[in-house]
Amino acid sequence: MKVLFRLILLIPPLACLPVQSAAAADAASPNIVLITVDDMNFDTPGAFGGRVDGITPRIDRLAAQGRRFLHAHVPVAVCQPSRQCIMTGTYPQTNGSTGFYPLNPQSTTLVEVLKAHGYHLGILGKVLHLRPAEKFPWDMQHDQHELGAGRDPERYHALATKFFEQAKSAGKPFFLMANSHDPHRPFAGAAGEQQQLLNQVGPTAKGLSEQVRDAGEVPVELAEHPAPRRVYQPDEVTVPGFLPDLPDVRKEVAQYYSSAHRADEMVGRILDALEASGLADNSIVIFLSDNGIALPFAKSNCYLASTRTPLIIRWPGTTQPGSVDSTHFVSGVDLMPTLLEALKLPLPKGMDGRSFLPLLSGQAHDHRTQAFSSYEETSARVGYPMRCVQSARFGYIYNAWSDGEKAYRAESMIGLTYPAMASAAKDDSAIAARVEMFLHRVPEEFYDLQNDPDALRNLIDEPRYQEEIQQYRTDLLAWMQRTKDPLAATFAATMENATPSASRTPSSP
């Protein structure tokens, strides 16, 4: 009896689910193709308001075939934590991936659940951004060194074709996660692009010793990738409203758009392979970006440009072609419960997300008026803890790290844009104020996103908004307490100091 009891204690969390037999899934079950792009701003695709000519014709075509969500957000605006939230249906404070860390042992992944129900599983690109490996039991995986530094649409097409054939031969439904490394830095045409790519592919390349990587002797061919078929010039692009329109900013934004166009080609080639397989009509296709553009005031922050994502879902027979949800807020943590409900599979306990399956067919869904997000630290493990709640009208950000002295440093500051801003700040007081805000922030920020989506005017001290500010503080605290955020007690104390009363009733999430 003692031996049996010990064995029960060793059973992993997934085994506690009311799972069906793996044989219960067959080729008639819906397939899933999850396509992500890396660091693409919400409003880059034409279907989401993009104003650059011809930038995303393939993504736009997918939008015309499925349903767009205009208030979709990711829970954290940086690569690995964002993806691990999507794949667990939980926020970072729940799954342990507050930065570039593996998931905690208690987390159950979408891949684990699908594996237990007979799905054939594959991933293309960004393999190391889903950890630990044992929680992602792929049947086929190929990382960026096999995909032209994650930037070669034809390699994605060839490997996706191979994967779909494997699934057909096995007689299994499939889940494919196809992750473009575009338009992540280095942007197309950026100075030192080839060397930067070599530095990125080295850690994923098979058969290379640590000594070879440390010596910078990674074979050049591992980073070979095609140039974008469309190279944008500075006078062809639109500079985001949260950045000053300076020559070097415009030049870097043009490089970003060239990369975004190549990402669109990858999306198209994955969909071409799916169509050729004959399985498209029984496949749920999901497209989104993991976070906003890697420029100041976007990626690795909590602004609207940080977390808003261009979400498209196409499910023949369920989503109406060309339909748009312009009302409901959905989050990356909601994707896993939505997919499992769509597949009629059991949901693991402990998920923070909620299924939005009724929205796919155009039904209404109560209590979807806000999105919550967080940010904890950079890839160098320097902490800049932020928490945020946003609605269609307002956005509130709590910067726990802001003390007037500590300066922000992140990947979005490399390249051309931030140095151009810092240089221009010497002679331009408005740009100097933006640079100061970016570097040091203030403990609280509050924006009228309906009229100021670029978050240019902080309203935190405006008397006429104090009632709304207090409500958003209360809503944010309720979310932090609900998700057992370690920062909740500190934020509660901040609220007490900010206002004599913090006892308003939270609005529904």
Which DSSP helix (H) or strand (E) runs through 336?
Answer: helix 335-342
Mean pLDDT for 255-272 is 98
**Do residues 454 and 305 lie in contact, with contact meaning Cβ atoms separated by under 8 Å?**
yes
* Candidate from 12-16, 307-311, 317-321 with smallest mean pLDDT: 12-16
Taking the C-alpha atoms of residue 96 and residue 108, their distance in angstroms, rounded to an integer, is: 12
Q: What is the pLDDT of residue 387?
A: 98
pLDDT at position 500 is 44
pLDDT at residue 207, rounded to an integer: 66
Tell which wins on pLDDT, 97 or 497.
97
Does residue 176 register a pLDDT over 80? Answer: yes
Residue 193's identity, in one-letter code, is E
Distances (CA, A) of 436 to 250, 306, 323: 21, 19, 42
pLDDT of residue 214: 59
Q: Tokens representing 64?
A: 């015309």
Helix, strand counts (H, E) of the chain: 16, 14
As a whole-number percent, the residues of the chain with pLDDT over 70 amount to 90
Phi, psi of 339 (to 5 degrees): -65, -45
Question: What is the residue-averaged pLDDT of the chain?
Answer: 92
Please state whether the peptide bond connecting residue 183 to the residue before it is cis, i.e. omega within 30 degrees of 0.
yes
Q: What is the pLDDT of residues 456-491, one digit of tens each?
A: 999 999 999 999 999 999 999 999 999 999 999 999
Q: What pLDDT, on the 0 to 100 scale, is given for residue 210?
A: 58
In this prediction, residue 28 has a pLDDT band, given cuts at 50, 70 and 90, of: confident
38-47, 191-200, 430-439: range with lowest mean pLDDT: 191-200
Instruction: Please report the pLDDT score of residue 278 as a whole number.
Output: 97
Pairing relation of β-strands 311-314 and 283-289?
A: antiparallel
Q: Is the pLDDT of residue 24 over 60?
A: no
User: Which CATH architecture describes the domain 372-498?
Assistant: 2-Layer Sandwich (3.30)
pLDDT at 221 over 90: no
Using the predicted structure, report yes or no on whether residue 507 has a pLDDT greater than 50: no
pLDDT at 155 over 90: yes
pLDDT at residue 164 is higher than 60: yes
Which class would CATH give 29-361? alpha beta
Q: What is the pLDDT of residues 402-460, one digit of tens each?
A: 999 999 999 999 999 999 999 999 999 999 999 999 999 999 999 999 999 999 999 99
The segment(s) of the chain belonging to CATH 3.30.1120.10 are 372-498
Is 60 exceeded by the pLDDT of residue 496? yes
pLDDT exceeds cutoff 80 at 23 = no
- What is the spatial distance between Cα 498 and Cα 152, in angstroms, rounded to a whole number? 51
Instruction: Provide the pLDDT confidence category of residue 322 given band limits of 50, 70 and 90.
Output: very high
Q: What residue ranges of the chain are covered by domains with CATH 3.40.720.10? A: 29-361
Q: Which residue has the tokens 């096999």?
A: 146
pLDDT band at 46 (very low <50, low <70, confident <90, very high): very high
Checking DSSP bridges between strand 383-390 and strand 140-142, what pairing results, if any?
A: unpaired
Global pTM value:
0.92
506: confidence class by pLDDT, cuts 50, 70, 90:
very low
In sequence order, the 6+-apart residues with CB closer than 8 A to the CB of 369 are: 329, 391, 392, 507, 508
- Residue that wins the pLDDT comparison between 451 and 24: 451
CA–CA separation, 432 vs 443, rounded Å?
Answer: 19
Distance (Å, rounded) from C-alpha 285 to C-alpha 330?
17
- Span 80-118, pLDDT tens digits: 999 999 999 999 999 999 999 999 999 999 999 999 999
The continuous run of DSSP H or E covering 385 comes out as: strand 383-390
Q: Dump pLDDT digits (tens) for 323-370.
A: 999 999 999 999 999 999 999 999 999 999 999 999 999 999 999 999
Query: Residue 212: is its pLDDT beyond 60?
Result: no
Does residue 136 contact residue 84 with C-beta atoms inside 8 Å? no
Is the per-residue pLDDT at 156 higher than 60? yes
- C-alpha torsion angle, residues 302, 305, 308, 309 (rounded to 10): -130
User: Whole-angstrom Cα distance, residue 183 to residue 25?
Assistant: 36
Residue 163 pLDDT > 90: yes
| Per-residue confidence (pLDDT) for residue 497, from 0 to 100 | 82
| 175 beta partners | 32, 121
226 φ, ψ (degrees, to nearest 5): -75, 150
**Counting beta carbons within 10 angstroms of the beta carbon of residue 17, is it exposed (0 to 12), middle (13 to 18) or buried (19 or more)?**
middle
Question: What is the pLDDT, as a whole number, of residue 499?
Answer: 59
